[in-house]
Chain A
Amino acid sequence: NAGVTQTPKFQVLKTGQSMTLQCAQDMNHEYMSWYRQDPGMGLRLIHYSVGAGITDQGEVPNGYNVSRSTTEDFPLRLLSAAPSQTSVYFCASSYANSYEQYFGPGTRLTVT
């Protein structure tokens, strides 16, 4: 199993550009989540999904969209990037109501 994969590893955007961060898992996990991590801030939940076709907002959803058309994929879209979205983004997945989440390697995004 590849586990949780994220692409790209690094990305630089200009203010106003759009892009999609990709996340995929091959463990048949029902739950998938997106977090952002800023220095000294721990992990903050952006959006999450409890199954295909179902998504919900986390703590910091503004400026981000998600969709979950398949169990495996959970892309995160930035429609109009802002410097405040400069961060490291982690995708995670788990079985429904499981205690342990599996994290992807992260995407480091810089918006200038």
Chain B
Amino acid sequence: EDKVVQSPLSLVVHEGDTVTLNCSYEVTNFRSLLWYKQEKKAPTFLFMLTSSGIEKKSGRLSSILDKKELFSILNITATQTGDSAVYLCAVQGRSGGSYIPTFGRGTSLIVHP
């Protein structure tokens, strides 16, 4: 059974802080790891990672994958109140003929002004 574990489950910081969110996984026939941001509505896509060691970057957010140690991290630098959200990690493994993602429980990030 595929498994995705995120840590910490919740995090409270002040604006300007840097945060690191963790995602470890066990999956059969790994295809990709995905990060989503969820702000009291539907999740929105952030990053897709398939190769180890290659950093994906979008503004103040960046993510990297380690396929040997089976984990990924999501970094947010100079946090802002608008970064407050639940961050979801999902891993795509092959189930039968399709790639169905398994989600972790998420990390709830609260950024205080």
* Residues from 73 to 113 in B contacting A, C-beta threshold 8 Å: 88, 90, 92, 96-106
User: Which single member of A40, A58, A99, A103 contacts B32 (CB below 8 Å)?
Assistant: A99
Query: Are A97 and B100 in contact, CB atoms less than 8 angstroms apart?
Result: no
Residue with the greatest number of chain B CB neighbours at <10 A, chosen from A35, A99, A100: A99
Stretch at the interface among A10-18, A44-52, A64-72, A74-82: A44-52
Contact B103 A43 (CB under 8 A): yes
Task: Count A-side interface residues using an 8 Å CB cutoff.
Answer: 24
Q: A42-B106, A99-B34, A100-B48 are in contact. Are A105 and B92 (CB under 8 A)?
A: no
CA distance A43 to B34 in the complex (A): 13
User: Does B41 sit within 8 A of A, measured CB to CB?
Assistant: yes
Neighbour of B98 across the interface among A31, A101, A105, CB < 8 A: A31
Is B43 an interface residue when CB atoms closer than 8 A count as contact? Answer: yes
Interface of B is mostly: strand
Contact A100 B41, beta carbon cutoff 8 Å: no
User: Which B residues are CB-close (under 8 A) to A99?
Assistant: 31-32, 34, 48, 50, 92
In angstroms, Cα B109 to Cα A6, docked, is 27
Q: Contact at B97–A50, with CB atoms within 8 Å?
A: yes
Question: Given contacts A100-B48, A106-B41, are A42 and B100 in contact (CB under 8 A)?
Answer: no
Q: Could you tell me the distance between the alpha carbons of A40 and B108 in the complex, rounded to whole angstroms?
A: 9
State whether B45 touches A42 (Cβ < 8 A). no
B12 within 8 A of A: no
A56 proximal to B (CB < 8 A): yes
Complex Cα spacing A103 to B6, Å:
21
Interface contacts beyond A42-B104, A99-B48, A100-B34: sample of 13 additional A-B pairs, CB < 8 Å, sorted by A: A35-B103, A42-B4, A42-B6, A45-B102, A50-B98, A56-B98, A59-B102, A90-B42, A90-B43, A97-B98, A104-B42, A106-B41, A106-B42
Q: Across chains A and B, which 10 residue pairs bring their CB atoms closest together, nearest first?
A: A103-B42, A43-B103, A42-B105, A42-B103, A99-B48, A50-B98, A42-B106, A100-B45, A99-B32, A42-B104
Give A residues with C-beta under 8 Å from B: 31, 33, 35, 40-45, 48, 50, 56, 58-59, 90, 96-97, 99-101, 103-106
